Amino acid sequence: MDRLPHEKGFHVSWDQLHRDSRALAWRLDGQGPGGAPWQAVVAITRGGMAPAMIVARELDIRLVDTISVKSYDH
């Protein structure tokens, strides 16, 4: 039986995750509302926690919140 696209997965190395998360943080730096620093990071569980922690560290943000999203039924 063929697997659905979301079941095949998307594999990323830790090095790539770090590199991409830091690149995102650099792009976000100085781009907060009205040019102010970002106040918080919202992490999406089941894949977004690690990148959110890296972005928060790079931007010196102490407040990290989470949200859980379900986009399909099993």
- pTM of the shown model: 0.79
Give the pLDDT confidence score for residue 6 in this predicted structure: 63
Confidence of residue 5 (pLDDT cuts 50, 70, 90): low
The amino acid at residue 31 is Q
Give the pLDDT confidence score for residue 3 in this predicted structure: 72
Are 22 and 1 a contacting pair, CB within 8 Å? no
Q: Tell me the average pLDDT of the chain.
A: 89
Whole-angstrom distance, CA of residue 37 vs CA of residue 40: 9
